[in-house]
């Protein structure tokens, strides 16, 4: 398949190359990926080994452009993740089994697609064959799905790529018209406190620093880039002395590009996903981080 495509599994990994995954990564690249098993098997050393191999994650219904591929892999750009590497979207390789053709999305999905849509606000939500039917799929926080009918018994029918019939999701697991202010971004980010850092992570199974910003923005329909330096370019610059809750702090080593980002909780206090071996946390900015504070930005809402 070359042309438009759509993610047809709950979470698809974007890898630097088809030979990037290791033996321990088998659950993530299986035809039916098991992200819970994969992340549970990754100790700090194995997580560090994702550097240079693993780039990003895509959620059910996300659009891609397939450029080519072979051997069970597709070279893609993720059109919903703005990126300075490629004007078309975030580039990388995805298992072909994790994709469906764009015409199976019925109707198109994603924050920019026409309404009505819902976004999953639970960390994970089961999709069922009927309002009280058996679960057949589990999708994660930040997944956008089109509504295909009226609610019944506390559930909504939604369209899912590569499935002929709608599936049903509990209304309490979704939001129909997400809106927030900047302090609300911080409140939402706090839901991830304690989640382990995952290089390349942009899902509720694990997050890197910019993945946290991207996913929280996505939940409210804010189309932020995926990487920290691109997020800095997409935000309204704010003097470091004038930051407010919900703004972003950006960090860089002298003479180097921005490599880290976190939410401003209050001036001098940061909520971020810090590094491999750490977890999403909230604390005053350390002296080491303070020396690398390059700039601040305000997310467009």
Q: What is the pLDDT of residue 114?
A: 61
Cα 58 vs. chain centroid, distance in angstroms? 6
Q: What is the pLDDT of residue 112?
A: 53
| C-alpha closest to that of 200 among 25, 1, 79, 5 | 25
Q: What is the pLDDT of residue 104?
A: 53
Edge-to-edge strand list for the sheet holding 3-7: 54-59, 11-15, 90-95, 73-78, 63-70, 3-7, 99-101
Q: What is the pLDDT of residue 111?
A: 54
- On whether the CB atoms of residues 126 and 50 are closer than 8 A, the answer is no
Per-residue pLDDT of the chain (301 residues; tens, 9 = 90+): 688 999 999 999 999 999 999 999 999 999 999 999 999 999 999 999 999 999 999 999 999 999 999 999 999 999 999 999 999 999 999 999 999 987 654 444 455 556 589 999 999 999 999 999 999 999 999 999 999 999 999 999 999 998 989 999 999 999 998 999 999 999 999 999 999 999 999 999 999 999 999 999 999 999 999 999 999 999 999 999 999 999 999 999 999 999 999 999 999 999 999 999 999 999 999 998 899 999 999 999 9
Q: What is the pLDDT of residue 177?
A: 87
Number of neighbours of residue 166 by Cβ within 10 angstroms: 20
Q: What is the pLDDT of residue 101?
A: 82
Burial (CB < 10 A; 0-12, 13-18, 19+), residue 254, is exposed
d(CA 154, CA 47): 39
Q: What is the pLDDT of residue 107?
A: 46
Q: What is the pLDDT of residue 102?
A: 73
Backbone angles phi, psi at 51, to 5 degrees: -60, 130
Residue 33 structure tokens: 């990926």
Q: What is the pLDDT of residue 57?
A: 98
| C-alpha closest to that of 140 among 33, 299, 31, 18 | 33
Q: What is the pLDDT of residue 168?
A: 98
């Amino acid at each position: 398949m070359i042309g438009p495509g759509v993610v047809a599994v709950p979470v698809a990994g974007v890898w630097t190359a088809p030979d990037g995954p290791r033996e321990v990564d088998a659950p993530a690249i299986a035809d039916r990926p098991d992200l819970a098993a994969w992340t549970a098997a990754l100790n700090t050393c194995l997580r560090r080994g994702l550097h240079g191999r693993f780039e990003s994650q895509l959620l059910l219904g996300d659009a891609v452009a397939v450029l080519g591929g072979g051997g069970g892999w597709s070279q893609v750009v993720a059109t919903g993740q703005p990126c300075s590497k490629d004007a078309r979207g975030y580039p990388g390789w995805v298992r072909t089994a994790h994709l469906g053709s764009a015409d199976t999305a019925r109707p198109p999905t994603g924050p920019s697609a026409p309404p009505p849509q819902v976004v999953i606000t639970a960390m994970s939500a089961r999709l069922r064959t009927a309002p009280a039917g058996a679960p057949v799929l589990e999708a994660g926080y930040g997944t956008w799905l089109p509504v295909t009918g009226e609610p019944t018994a506390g559930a909504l029918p939604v369209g899912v790529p590569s499935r002929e019939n709608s599936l049903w999701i509990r209304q309490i697991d979704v939001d129909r018209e997400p809106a927030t202010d900047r302090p609300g971004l911080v409140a939402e980010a706090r839901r991830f406190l304690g989640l382990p850092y995952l290089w390349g992570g942009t899902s509720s199974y694990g997050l890197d620093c910019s993945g946290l910003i991207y996913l929280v923005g996505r939940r409210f329909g804010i189309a932020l880039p995926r990487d920290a330096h691109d997020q800095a370019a997409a935000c309204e610059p704010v003097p470091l002395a004038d930051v407010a809750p919900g703004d972003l702090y950006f960090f860089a080593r002298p003479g180097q590009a921005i490599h880290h980002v976190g939410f401003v909780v209050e001036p001098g206090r940061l909520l971020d996903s810090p590094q491999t071996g750490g977890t999403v946390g909230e604390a005053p900015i350390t002296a080491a981080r303070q020396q690398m504070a390059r700039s601040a930005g305000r997310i467009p809402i």
